[in-house]
Amino acid sequence: MTLEQAGDDLSVLDLNGWFATNGRDFLWRRTRDPWAILVSEVMLQQTQVGRVAERWPVFLDRFPNPRQCAAAAPGAVIELWSGMGYNRRALNLHRAAMKITGDHGGVVPSSLDELLGLPGVGPYTARAVLVFAFEQPAAVVDTNVGRILARVAGHRLDRKEVQALADRALGDHDPWTWNQALLDIGATLCRSKTTQCASCPLSSYCDWFAQENTPPDPAHASAAVSRPQSTFEGSDRQGRGRLVDALRQREVPADDAAEVMGWADDPHRVKRVLEGLLTDGLVVRDGDRLSLPE
């Protein structure tokens, strides 16, 4: 099916009824506060929904707006990020808060270009804030939506094609509901390894379903569709996380970094990973002491 055909088919589909009955209820779906939405989207980038549901209100209680986040030490934001993983996101969120405060008067911007200018904000997050905070007509494409659209079209899509199809499918729909519905369909019905096509409101428009889900899955290797992550156990990410977790509690002597990271017998790896943390700004060194940034 061509992108034009797929987009035109989906543009006439009404998902309001499906979402009213089947849509998931999250706290961040009950607000239109742009800062709260930005925080939720940054958290959701690489963390399971259940964990975000726990940490999101805690974070906003401490940093309810960009000004208060910007006024805090970056280390304080990293400390509050405990348990979320990918600590660089916390640092980027702090940097975004500083830019919002310094360049936008403390108000989260409402244009795509300005949102893309914030640290850590990519095409998906920028469009998500436009839609879910400002209810502007934009189509968001994450891994779930990318998978759906490739299957509807019946072939692999590159990044430009998947965004073009999403834009065309949005049409004149209410952007908030339409995008939330697609995200939920991808998360609950049109999953990576299992599908519930009989319950999916898109099945009548899906080229892959019409082909009886015959392999290969067109979502495989399509743009925006996530690849399996590398094993965490024994990875650099694990060592980085161990050191940052320790620094949330106390300063760490530089000579103890190898033991804290779990690589006492691999000094070259410790040196390389520590240099990366220092370059990223997640860790600072003062003489022989390591700490979170102040």
SS3 category, 162:
helix
Q: Give yes or no for a contact between 286 and 247, defined as CB atoms under 8 angstroms apart.
A: no
Show the tokens assigned to 117.
């200018």
Show the tokens assigned to 243.
């050191």
Rg (CA), the chain: 21
CA-to-CA distance for 270 and 9, rounded, in angstroms? Answer: 54
The verdict on whether 275 is a catalytic residue reads no
User: Catalytic residue among 41, 161, 212, 294, which?
Assistant: 41
* DSSP labels, 225-263: PPPPPPP-TTSHHHHHHHHHHHHHHS-EEGGGHHHHHT-
CA-to-CA distance for 112 and 153, rounded, in angstroms? Answer: 27
Catalytic residues: 41
